[in-house]
Chains A and B, each alone.
Chain A
Amino acid sequence: MRDRRIVVTGMGVVSPLGADLQTFHESLQQGKSGISTIETRFETGYRVNRAGMVREFDDSRFVDGSAGEAVGRTAGLGLTACAMAQRDAGLEGSTRCGIVVGTAMGEALEREAVWEERQAAAGGADDAHARYDTRGIHRKIAAALGLDGPGHLVASTCASGNHAIDWACDLLGAGEADAMLAVGVDTIGHVDLLGFSRLLLQAPDACRPFDLHRKGTILSEGAGALLLEPLPLAAKRSANILAEVAGCGLSCDAGGAFKSSVSDVRTLGLAAESALHEARISPQEIDFISAHGSGTRLNDARETQFARSLLGPHADRVPMSSIKSMLGHGQGAAAAFEAIACVLSLQHGVLYPTINFETPDPQCDMDCVPNTAREARVDVIMSNAFGVGGNNSIIVLKRWKGA
Chain B
Amino acid sequence: MTEARGHAVITGIAASTWLGTGIEPLFQAFAEGLDARRPSAKAPSQSQAGGAEPAPLDFRPVTLDVSHLLRETRTDDRLAIQLLAAIEADLSGAISKLGDAERAQTSVVLGNTSGCVDAYLRFYAKGTREGPRAVNPVDFPTTLPNYQAVQVSSAFSLAGANATIGSGLSAGLDAVGYAAARLASGKERFSLAGGVEASNEVNRTLLPRSELLVGAGLPRPLRKNRRGTVLAEGVGILYLERRSSRERQGGGLGAILGYASAAGAADAGSDDLRRRGVDTLTHALRGSGLGAADVDAVFPSANGSRRGDALELEILREVFGPRLRTLPIYPAKAVFGECLTASGPLQCIAALYAMHHGRASARGRSLRAVGKGDGVRLADRFERCECALVYTVGVDHTVSALVIGKL
A-side residues, CB < 8 A to B, are: 1-2, 44-47, 103-106, 108, 111-112, 115, 118-119, 121-122, 127-128, 131-132, 134-136, 138-139, 142-143, 150-157, 163, 167, 170, 173-176, 189-191, 194-200, 250-259, 266-267, 270, 274, 387-391
Given contacts A127-B52, A139-B266, A267-B159, contact A190 B128 (CB under 8 A): yes
Interface locus among B10-18, B113-121, B302-310: B113-121
Is B150 in contact with A389, judged by CB distance below 8 angstroms? yes
Residues in chain B near residue A267, CB distance under 8 A? 104, 159
Interface-lining segment among B28-36, B181-189, B211-219: B181-189
- Top 9 nearest A-B pairs (CB, nearest first) are A151-B263, A195-B140, A155-B145, A250-B161, A252-B162, A143-B265, A198-B137, A122-B52, A389-B150
The smallest beta-carbon distance between B374 and chain A, in angstroms, is 28
Instruction: Say yes or no for B383: interface residue by CB 8 A criterion.
Output: no
Task: Judge if B143 is at the interface, Cβ distance under 8 Å.
Answer: yes
In the assembled complex, B205 has its CB within 8 A of some CB on chain A: yes
Known A111-B120, A174-B3, A389-B150: A2·B185 in contact at CB below 8 Å:
yes
CA distance A1 to B3 in the complex (A): 11
Contact of B166 among A121, A154, A266 (CB under 8 A): A154
**Bound form: Cα–Cα A2–B52 in Å:** 50
Known: A2-B185, A142-B264. 16 other contacts (CB 8 A): A1-B185, A44-B131, A105-B145, A111-B121, A115-B121, A150-B261, A153-B167, A155-B145, A157-B144, A190-B128, A199-B137, A200-B137, A252-B160, A266-B159, A270-B160, A389-B147
Q: Please determine whether A390 and B162 come into contact, CB atoms closer than 8 angstroms.
A: yes
Q: Does B271 contact A (CB under 8 A)?
A: no
Q: How far is the CB of B98 from chain A (nearest CB, A)?
A: 12
Q: How far is the CB of B258 from chain A (nearest CB, A)?
A: 12
Contact check, A156 vs B206: say whether CB atoms are below 8 A apart.
Answer: no
Residues of chain B lying within 8 A (CB to CB) of residue A190: 124, 127-128
B158 to chain A, nearest CB (A): 6
B 180-224 to A, binary, CB cutoff 8 A, 1 in contact else 0: 011001110000000000000110011001000000000000000
A150 touches B263 (CB 8 A): yes
| CB pair A155 B166 closer than 8 Å | yes
**Nearest chain B CB to A196's CB is how many angstroms away?**
8
Task: Report yes or no: A115 in contact with B132, Cβ–Cβ below 8 A.
Answer: no
Instruction: Quote the shortest CB–CB distance from B176 to chain A (angstroms).
Output: 13
Which residues of chain B come closer than 8 Å to A253, judged between CB atoms?
153, 159
* Contact status B143-A191, CB under 8 Å: yes
Are B153 and A390 in contact (CB-based, < 8 A)? yes
Partner of A251, one of B127, B131, B157, B160: B160
- Total count of chain B residues near the partner, CB < 8 A: 74
- Separation of A16 and B186 alpha carbons in the complex (Å): 38
- Interface flag for B133 (CB, 8 Å): yes
Q: Interface code B124-165, partner A: CB below 8 Å = 1, 0 otherwise?
A: 110110011101110011011111001101101111111111
Check A115–B124 contact: CB distance below 8 A: yes
Partner of A191, one of B124, B136, B165, B265: B124
A134 adjacent to B396 (CB under 8 Å): yes
Cβ–Cβ < 8 Å partners of A266 in chain B: 159
The answer on a CB contact under 8 Å between B167 and A138 is yes
Task: Report how far A348 CA is from B322 CA in the complex, Å.
Answer: 62
Interface of B is mostly: mixed
Give the distance in Å from the alpha carbon of A143 to the alpha carbon of B143 in the complex.
28
Q: How far is the CB of A180 from chain B (nearest CB, A)?
A: 13
B158 lies within 8 A of A252 (CB): yes
Does B2 belong to the interface (CB within 8 Å)? Answer: yes
Residues of A within 8 A of B266 (CB): 134-136, 139, 143
| Complex partner residue of A156 from B50, B113, B163, B185, CB under 8 angstroms | B163
Beta-carbon contact of A198 and B132 below 8 Å: yes
What is the distance, in angstroms, from B57's C-beta to the closest C-beta of chain A? Answer: 15
Q: Which residues of chain A have C-beta atoms less than 8 A from B166's C-beta?
A: 103, 106, 136, 153-155
Inter-chain contact A194/B135, CB cutoff 8 Å: yes
Least CB distance from B383 to A in Å reads 33
Question: Does B336 belong to the interface (CB within 8 Å)?
Answer: no
Minimum CB–CB distance for A253 against chain B, Å: 7
With beta carbons under 8 angstroms apart, the residue of A139, A191, A252, A258 that contacts B123 is A191
Using Cβ atoms and an 8 Å threshold, which residues of chain A touch B162?
156, 250-252, 254, 389-391
Flag if A118 contacts B51 (CB, 8 Å): yes
Complex CA distance for A251 and B168, rounded to whole angstroms: 24
CB-defined contacts of A250 to chain B, threshold 8 Å: 107, 160-163, 187
Residues of B within 8 A of A (CB): 1-3, 49-53, 103-104, 107-108, 113-114, 117, 120-121, 123-125, 127-128, 131-133, 135-137, 140-141, 143-147, 150-151, 153-154, 156-168, 174, 178, 181-182, 185-187, 201-202, 205-206, 209, 261-268, 396, 398
Across-interface contacts of A254 in B (CB, < 8 A): 103, 153-154, 156-159, 162
Q: A251-B159, A389-B144 are in contact. Are A257 and B150 (CB under 8 A)?
A: yes
Please give me the residue from chain B that is nearest to A267 by CB atom: B159
Are the CB atoms of B150 and A256 closer together than 8 Å? Answer: yes
A271: nearest chain-B partner, CB-CB: B161
Q: Give the Cβ gap from B119 to chain A, nearest Cβ, in Å.
A: 9
Instruction: Chain A residues near B163: list those with CB within 8 A.
Output: 154, 156, 163, 250
B140 touches A194 (CB 8 A): yes
Q: How far is the CA of A198 from the CA of B139 in the complex (A)?
A: 10
In the complex, the answer to whether A174 meets B2 with C-beta atoms within 8 Å is yes
Q: Are A252 and B201 in contact (CB under 8 A)?
A: no
Give min CB distance, B173 to chain A, whole Å: 12
Which residues of B have CB within 8 Å of A256? 150-151, 154
Q: Could you list some 27 contacts between A and B, CB below 8 A?
A: A104-B144, A104-B145, A105-B144, A105-B145, A118-B205, A131-B209, A134-B114, A135-B266, A139-B263, A139-B264, A151-B167, A155-B146, A155-B166, A156-B163, A194-B132, A195-B140, A198-B132, A199-B137, A250-B187, A254-B154, A255-B154, A257-B141, A258-B141, A266-B159, A270-B160, A389-B147, A389-B162
* B5 smallest CB distance to A (angstroms): 11
| B50 CB, min distance to chain A CBs, angstroms | 7
B165 A108 Cβ-Cβ under 8 A: no
The answer to whether B150 and A391 have CB atoms under 8 Å apart is yes
User: Which of A132, A134, A176 is packed against the most chain B CB atoms within 10 Å?
Assistant: A134
Please tell me which one of the listed residues B145, B153, B178 contacts residue A252 in the complex, with CB atoms under 8 A apart.
B153
- Contact present for A134 and B206 (CB under 8 Å): yes
Q: Is the beta-carbon distance between A132 and B205 smaller than 8 angstroms?
A: yes
The answer on a CB contact under 8 Å between B50 and A119 is: yes
Q: In whole angstroms, how far apart are the Cα atoms of A199 and B136 in the complex?
A: 9
A172 to B2, CA, bound (A): 13
The docked-state distance in angstroms from the alpha carbon of A151 to that of B103 is: 30
Please indicate the chain A residues that have their CB under 8 angstroms from the CB of B261 in the complex.
150, 152
Q: Which residues of B contact A119 (CB under 8 A)?
A: 50-52
A146's nearest neighbour on chain B, judged by CB, is B265
A19 to B: closest C-beta gap in Å = 26
Q: Which residue of B lies closest to A155 (CB)?
A: B145
Complex Cα gap A163–B52 (Å):
37
Q: Contact check: which of B135, B174, B396 meets A152 at CB < 8 Å?
A: B174
- Name the one of B104, B120, B267, B396 contacting A108, with C-beta atoms under 8 angstroms: B120
Q: Give Cα A46–Cα B90 distance, bound, in whole angstroms.
A: 45
